[in-house]
Amino acid sequence: MKKGMKNLMAGILAAAMLTGAGQMVMAEDTIKVGMVTFDSGADAYQSAYYDTMLSHAKELGVEIQLLDPAGDATKQQNMVQDLIGMACDVIIIWPANSETAIAEVKACSEAGIPVVAANTDVAEEGQEYVTCFVGPSNRLEGQNAGEAMVEEIGTDAKIVEISNMAGYTASIERMGGMHDAIEDTDIEILDSQPGEANREKAQQVMENYLVKYAPGEIAAVFCYDDTTAYGALNALEADGRDDVLVFAAAAGNYETINYVKNGKIRAISMQSPIIDATTTLDVAVNVAKGEAPAEYLNFIETPAVSQSNIDEIELEAW
């Protein structure tokens, strides 16, 4: 038995040396990108983002270590520690929580690894440790879709809103952008209830609006994402009402293009996970090469589409 133990120890030692040697051989010039996502299995947008990251890394010829904390902020923090241990050249973080990400970016900066914040920005206190942010501008999405709405319904109309979850940063910013777009008009928001980014809940909210406001009283309903807009459309169709037009701030589902083509959703900003992921990885690879972008905020393109221009805008399906 004693001999067996000795052999075992020798085995472990040999293994240690082998892996050590292996690492030395592996140390080449390929750029190693580490990334923690938010919750890649949660929705179509995030899983397309995940897949695009992998395929685009292959196209660029960089090594990528892509970890998914499934929405758990503490798990994400541990994963960032693991990425630091793997000596990545750059780390991309899609914060599971903007505040707890402060500690994550601080740890990277202490280890001397540059950080790119993706899709959602780190809270202000942590931004000094971040090289740059790449992602959609929620404010612009709201504003562009809002302006498209003003173009269609005119500057003097009454509308209702279906908001998203309270405290959800993206939704607050989109709302800010939309309200900017109608600030100088006489458009009045009669009602604003939360749809919680949930189709069924949004449908309920819309049904209540339709009972409350008779035909002709409201010109449009503004939603803050496409899932909410689907719910609102369902309620309108069930009631046979076509006097209320549906607008929405931003779309993450590719399916939404069909709703725009047949005019059900009048205008919306399209946010493509493919553009989001490829732009982010391109910027991160540049950062690893020492070519950081000049600006801190790097917004991806999120074109506002409507029935009239949808055919001109080319978006790869996801």
CA distance 80 to 41: 19
Question: For the stretch 298-310, what's the b/e string if a residue is b when 16 or more beta carbons lie within 10 angstroms of its beta carbon?
Answer: bbbbbbbbbeeeb
Among 33, 56, 91, 97, binds another protein (CB under 8 A): 97
Letters for 103-122 (x = contact with another protein by CB under 8 A, - = none) are: x--xx---------------
| Least distance in angstroms from the C-beta of 103 to another protein | 4
Query: Which CB, 15 or 297, lies closer to another protein?
Result: 15
Q: Which residues contact 136 (CB under 8 A, 6 or more apart)?
A: 119, 250, 271, 276, 299, 300, 302
Query: Which CB, 24 or 317, lies closer to another protein?
Result: 24
CA distance 137 to 173: 8
| Under rule CB under 8 A, residue 99 binds another protein | yes
Q: Which residues contact 206 (CB under 8 A, 6 or more apart)?
A: 162, 221, 231, 232, 234, 235, 236
CA distance 107 to 318: 34
- On whether the CB atoms of residues 245 and 183 are closer than 8 A, the answer is no
CA distance 114 to 288: 7
Query: Which CB, 30 or 74, lies closer to another protein?
Result: 74
Query: Which CB, 157 or 225, lies closer to another protein?
Result: 225
- On whether the CB atoms of residues 53 and 64 are closer than 8 A, the answer is yes
| Under rule CB under 8 A, residue 70 binds another protein | yes
| Least distance in angstroms from the C-beta of 67 to another protein | 6
Site for another protein in 12-41 (CB under 8 A): 12, 15-16, 18-20, 22-23, 26, 40-41
Query: Which CB, 169 or 258, lies closer to another protein?
Result: 169
| Under rule CB under 8 A, residue 190 binds another protein | no
| Least distance in angstroms from the C-beta of 267 to another protein | 29
Query: Which CB, 106 or 158, lies closer to another protein?
Result: 106
Question: For the stretch 262-283, what's the b/e string if a residue is b when 16 or more beta carbons lie within 10 angstroms of its beta carbon?
Answer: eebbbbbbbbbbbbbbbbbbeb
Question: For the stretch 16-28, what's the b/e string if a residue is b when 16 or more beta carbons lie within 10 angstroms of its beta carbon?
Answer: eeeeeeeeeeeee
Q: Which stretch binds another protein (CB under 8 A): 128-136, 159-167, 182-190, 197-205?
A: 159-167
Query: Which CB, 166 or 211, lies closer to another protein?
Result: 166
Cα distances (Å, whole numbers) of residue 300 to 268, 271, 272, 278, 281:
16, 8, 9, 10, 12
| Under rule CB under 8 A, residue 1 binds another protein | yes
| Under rule CB under 8 A, residue 313 binds another protein | no
DSSP code of residue 129: G
| Least distance in angstroms from the C-beta of 74 to another protein | 6
| Under rule CB under 8 A, residue 228 binds another protein | no
List the helix and strand counts (H, then E) for the chain: 10, 12
Site for another protein in 39-68 (CB under 8 A): 40-41, 65-68
The phi, psi pair for 106, rounded to 5°, reads -65, -45
Among 7, 55, 74, 155, binds another protein (CB under 8 A): 74
Which positions touch another protein (CB under 8 A)?
A: 1-2, 8, 11-12, 15-16, 18-20, 22-23, 26, 40-41, 65-74, 77-79, 81-83, 85-86, 97-100, 102-103, 106-107, 123, 125, 165-167
